[in-house]
Amino acid sequence: MNVSTTKARKCSRCGTAVETCAFCDEPDCPATTCYRCVNIAIFDRLASGPATNSGSGGRSSTTEIALA
């Protein structure tokens, strides 16, 4: 009987067990990240405001959409 072994992957940030990286969907990603940590990183980035080189004149496009 052949027994296949599966390497357990964990989120590089919080240690949660994952199948593939939620950011890039690569099964062998060296910086595997879970969906929760990807969402936290995205929301933290959005909350910090637009990048200085965004070209939007200092206004966030998400703010413009929300106010429209």
Domain assignment present for residue 1? The answer is no
Domain assignment present for residue 32? The answer is yes
**Separation between Cα atoms, residue 31 and residue 57, nearest integer Å:** 34
**pLDDT number for residue 16:** 93
Domain assignment present for residue 34? The answer is yes
Q: Where are the alpha helices (DSSP H) in the chain?
A: 35-47, 61-67
Domain assignment present for residue 35? The answer is yes
Domain assignment present for residue 15? The answer is yes
Residues of the chain with pLDDT under 50: 61-68
Task: List 17's β-bridge partners, or say none.
Answer: 10
pTM of the model: 0.56
Number of domains in the chain: 1
Write the pLDDT tens digit of every residue in 29-48: 889 999 999 999 999 888 88
